[in-house]
Structure 1
């Protein structure tokens, strides 16, 4: 039987490659060499088909669990969390809205939904369908500890309103601490342990699923990086997703009690703002209020103290303080360097847990 076009080209390359080596003077190859060439030529095509089949299986498994969410004039994506109609998404997708229109990936019928709870500090929220259909398919969430560099990922959602869209890439990095921009409905949260991916994430993808080839959701697509020197233009191939462990922790609490009491995030128990020096340069995070009984209060910190360092990490702004705390866990003992009345002091603080307002 004649070889296929792909196999014929591959075989020709193999034969050309060995023509200057051990081929016979007549230019014909031995039966063994011909057999080996055919096996080698079929391997790439077979491998490609297997990868394509894997992609298509993941899409068939997970895409029915990804929805489009419309709130006012904006839209985003969400992931079906359970068969009761709960859908997890980004807090910046829901914004200040309490009612939503949801469209399932396998349907054109608009469904009404209401807010269950929102936790902007981790940019996560849960909404619930008023009348969930019987065929609702919850997604399966993966183990964040098993996410590794180079794993193939598929990003599913509604970029630019194109519902049911899928892009592909790899896990480019793990453990990223990322600060979101403020404005446009975004809470400007600082989130730790994010998954970086090369899969394209565009407006409307927020709240959608980042999935591995085991059909497990490993993250919620949240934002794409931008180039600071190009007026906020997207940086191709650099997107970030909130990890599955954070999603399930926050979503479970919002569903059960409507608020978050154990965020897994460290806190000082203060409110603060950026302070500036005489040259109008950021010079630290000045404490505005201290929560009674909180971590800072227990360590003797007071309103007016200017925090300049957490452990060995310099702090020159509120954002720097938030980023430093995002990389730590509740219960960690850390040395806080601060100034009071012009004098530099330190305090050993056992960090508390960030909670809902």
Structure 2
């Protein structure tokens, strides 16, 4: 495979928490958090580079009040059982910021062949075992089962969010056991906030790899990695092993800060591609969540001889 394919980064400016899915129709579908946190957009292109200029279509807008009225974060688009689904998190509008971390998770459904067309129907909140801060849901299928992975605050565990997994009875309903598979425990996961969030899944070389992000959303933000044997019980916490070091982090040399909240896709040549956001400066005025310049970026990654992914370092702006 061509592992030297370069991309002109940023791929899409001012789009954080990027999610790119390559469908069987040959199109790349892209969604991400917009700086205003007020809507969900979807765009598509026949090439990864084409997403830069592709026109976004608004799939859904926030409400003026209620549980779907503020901070629309981290949408993902999935194709499950011949329908399209978008998972996202939303909070309530408040006069102050005390509602900033009061998110819950929701799902949208679209039956059209092209998700830029048709109607997105609200399927409601994706309910977990308890009501608390929850976000960054993803879904994946493995051996005939549909799994849901998300970040949530357990009221009895110190910190901000842990990673959980559950099986689904349909694309918006959890069923059976809900298992915590990771919580912040290393220094690199606990700068500013104690966070495990933004999971994305790779199934390669007999293992299920799950990337995630840790720490606050400034230059400390970075990616970690979990792995499980593909034959193991994925709902058993003991099946998952966390790598002790971050696998992708700030590169002062390349001017890339806080890389994370990634997704995975393949390019036109079939190479594996890491999609992530990062800023090109370190110092931020005010709350990092309201700095709009987390840009979507793409770079090819390789695999080590031991079967684990090697993401390298975030490449410089421009053509890598």
Shorter-chain TM range is: under 0.3
Structure with a larger share of its residues in strand: 2
Bigger Rg, structure 1 or 2: 1
TM-score for the superposition, normalised by structure 1:
0.24
TM-score for the superposition, normalised by structure 2:
0.26
Structure with a larger share of its residues in helix: 1
